[in-house]
Chain A
């Protein structure tokens, strides 16, 4: 999920392909990452009959009648790229959005790159390439029309797919598409100015809206083929366990049961070549029930009696708690960044503040439980389902089954929530091993309980933060991290306040657990933002300075031009702070409204949030969050606003309620009766403001989430006097109340 802000241009040279279609039309595409390669391999398409649509990089298909199909290459998890990526192409292609039909592209490693939904990077990485694709196609179409008229292309204008020459004659894209397909793909095509945009920046509804509101088949869960059977899998009930034996006699006699067998052998073969795969999937044998329906498979699974043995020790939250604390107290750290000398600065400081912040494990709780379809035949391996990393997953399946990469045909369905969980295709690997053994098409379906018990969780983390103040200035800052399984990625130590404080150090330590953990929406920062931003609030209180002024003063010290490691822009950060102060009415609210402030940078985006907690009948209630976002150009404001609101509320919900504890190697909750997700009554109003600066788009799926928990904690502190050091906040309900002596009247 890491990103590098030095990699921000794609438009050096183009890797373009175009071809005519067997059925007439033009296909043109632009390979996102290959776009950096200086080699142009585009050639005019010649043998029309030999061309198969699937063989070509296919962002755009223009039919002879002018109808435009745009293929959206990246998985759609609800972040809206199936609408916004094609909008970018359509803008530069200059067609009417109403005439565009959008289709989900399949996994095609020859022609697409980075078909990933993760790290909030689809639009950012696609920005130049998608515009070039549209603009290059437009230029070819104009050139074809100009040639037919015998005029110079510069004399032609285009509007909504209609080309007009100086004499006022017109040709539609469909009229010239066959000629255009024969042309060389142009390079360095001029792109529109932002002031010329007709599609981008306009509220554009989700392209799947009609299917969603009428219940059409869209998701992996909905996918069916002739002869398909359903698989339910019994996995080790606790982390660290392995199958010893099982009795399936009762299950076999149950209605609808097709077969019962174990899998695991092929997976263990895969672990020999890819040992790291065991960090996302147990290599124990698992018991598979195949049945004619989902219910019959799930029901028969419950009738199997299995015996398991402990291979590695069963772990618990209680233990993790002690381990992480002892890591923070100890000295087994890796230093990720060190400026100046924090030790000396603390010794010289007038005031020192040190606080520890704690977070639990979290499941992803995608509304669509994990599932995948697989059919393994001699000809190919057909995979269909919801996956954020189709290419990586197809690669694992090829290795698992000893097949060529080209044998794997993977289709992405619309995804009922990802949040990082579907970066890990362990369910697709299982489905492939089951289908290979069953010799028939299989759909693997997780129950909600399996989804929560066999997760790849957000790991429990503790942060200890220490700051030193000398002569009224923050002179030292030391962030220590202790995490289960994995530590923050390398760029995080270069986020704010790196560069703002002379003596600055970030240290990490970890404990290797047998519980599977991984990325969870806004990895690491989803908890770190709250910890650091609560800490700054408390630091300002200790220093007796204005909370926002402290942040602005620190930003004044940052010189990104002198330190290329710095990831954020102090100027853009100051701007979101300024607008948030303005829009939230900071400092101008009536007495019963208590506000909490956070500014943050992650996923290349600068965000400031203000939470309003109001006292109602003596109780503090979270009423509103004002969110100001600088994500550069907003491609689709309608979708972007939705994503901002969702990110903020996701941050609110998980910091308030989210907790998955472990006991004896098992989570103590396995469904929504015991695991609390945010509901409509818990949701504050979210007011969104975008900074309009015309800069290239950055990430949006994640960066509004991390600040939310901090804004909420700071607002509750203001309302109750209690600082919140542990997530979820509802775990310490006494701290969410106003002390009785303070309730007057």
Chain B
């Protein structure tokens, strides 16, 4: 099997996996970064969202070739101690119920706010519509993204 060098959360890692292995499973099974979640495997639910050079992407639908030379950030690397404004807003609103989708929600929200720091309500809904929360914590997700936006100013 081929060997790949990938840059995850600021560190260079070497993995030895089949070339078609989705980045999701490289992170979870090979690098023990289990914060990135498997939900659907087809890019529909957003639970596996990571940042690739700052852009939110679905890691279940990314191959290693597609991230070659790029920097990956996962929920574990979003901040050193859970104090990214989006994480703090999630905490302030106590957003999660089961919590399984929330890492993906936070990764989508943080990449979105980095590009659009003053979003309208409609912008927030458009940005977050790709992430499913089966517990339907949407009311709090809306508010948490707004709070994070205010705190990032």
CB distance from B125 to the nearest CB of A (A): 5
CB contact list, A487-503 vs B, under 8 A: none
Closest to B124 in A: A680
Task: Name B97's contact: one of A215, A216, A646, A683 (CB within 8 Å).
Answer: A646
**A649 on the interface (CB 8 Å rule)?**
yes
**A193 on the interface (CB 8 Å rule)?**
no
Cα(A677)–Cα(B133), bound, Å: 9
Interface size grouping (class) on chain B: 35 or more
CB distance from A596 to the nearest CB of B (A): 19
Closest to B47 in A: A367
Interface size grouping (class) on chain A: 35 or more
Task: Name B129's contact: one of A368, A416, A679 (CB within 8 Å).
Answer: A679
Cα(A430)–Cα(B85), bound, Å: 43
Are B98 and A367 closer than 8 Å at their CB atoms?
yes
Are A680 and B38 closer than 8 Å at their CB atoms?
no
CB distance from B137 to the nearest CB of A (A): 6
Cα(A214)–Cα(B88), bound, Å: 11
A215-B34, A672-B42 known; A296-B97 Cβ under 8 A: no
Q: Which of A256, A419, A448, A449 has the most CB of B within 10 A?
A: A448
Which residues of chain A are within 8 angstroms of B4 by Cβ–Cβ distance?
Answer: none
**A109 on the interface (CB 8 Å rule)?**
no
A645-B137, A685-B139 known; A368-B97 Cβ under 8 A: no
Which residues of chain A are within 8 angstroms of B47 by Cβ–Cβ distance?
Answer: 367
Cα(A717)–Cα(B22), bound, Å: 47
Q: Is the interface of B mostly helix, strand, loop or mixed?
A: loop
**A293 on the interface (CB 8 Å rule)?**
yes
CB distance from B138 to the nearest CB of A (A): 4
Are A367 and B101 closer than 8 Å at their CB atoms?
yes
Closest to B101 in A: A367
Chain B 117-153 interface 0/1 with A at a Cβ cutoff of 8 Å (1 = within):
0000000011011111111111111100000000000
Task: Name B39's contact: one of A295, A367, A673 (CB within 8 Å).
Answer: A367
**A269 on the interface (CB 8 Å rule)?**
no
Closest to B96 in A: A212
**A190 on the interface (CB 8 Å rule)?**
no
Are B136 and A221 closer than 8 Å at their CB atoms?
no
Are A416 and B76 closer than 8 Å at their CB atoms?
no
Q: Which of B1, B25, B78 has the most CB of A within 10 A?
A: B25
CB contact list, B18-62 vs A, under 8 A: 18, 20-22, 25, 28-30, 32-42, 44-45, 47
Are B134 and A365 closer than 8 Å at their CB atoms?
yes
Task: Name A80's contact: one of B35, B41, B97, B133 (CB within 8 Å).
Answer: B97
Cα(A244)–Cα(B96), bound, Å: 45
Cα(A365)–Cα(B29), bound, Å: 23
CB distance from B122 to the nearest CB of A (A): 9
**A414 on the interface (CB 8 Å rule)?**
yes
Cα(A365)–Cα(B100), bound, Å: 12
Are B42 and A671 closer than 8 Å at their CB atoms?
yes
Are A686 and B139 closer than 8 Å at their CB atoms?
yes
CB distance from A581 to the nearest CB of B (A): 23
Which residues of chain A are within 8 angstroms of B45 by Cβ–Cβ distance?
Answer: 367, 672
CB distance from A366 to the nearest CB of B (A): 6
Cα(A447)–Cα(B40), bound, Å: 7
Cα(A418)–Cα(B30), bound, Å: 28
CB contact list, B75-118 vs A, under 8 A: 75-76, 78, 82, 87, 90-91, 94, 96-103, 106
Cα(A414)–Cα(B34), bound, Å: 14
CB contact list, A465-515 vs B, under 8 A: none
Complex A-B: 22 CB contacts under 8 Å:
A208-B99, A213-B90, A213-B106, A214-B35, A230-B29, A295-B29, A366-B134, A368-B100, A414-B99, A416-B100, A447-B41, A638-B94, A642-B137, A645-B136, A649-B136, A650-B135, A671-B40, A671-B41, A671-B42, A672-B132, A681-B126, A683-B138
B interface residue numbers (CB < 8 A to A): 1, 17-18, 20-22, 25, 28-30, 32-42, 44-45, 47, 74-76, 78, 82, 87, 90-91, 94, 96-103, 106, 125-126, 128-142
Q: Give 11 A-B pairs besides A677-B134, A685-B139 with Cβ atoms closer than 8 angstroms.
A: A222-B34, A367-B47, A367-B100, A645-B137, A646-B137, A671-B42, A671-B44, A672-B45, A678-B136, A678-B138, A681-B125
The 3 closest A-B pairs by CB, nearest first: A215-B35, A78-B98, A416-B100
A interface residue numbers (CB < 8 A to B): 77-80, 203, 205-206, 208-210, 212-219, 221-222, 224, 230, 255-256, 293-296, 299, 365-369, 414-419, 447-449, 638-639, 642-643, 645-646, 649-650, 653, 671-673, 677-681, 683, 685-686
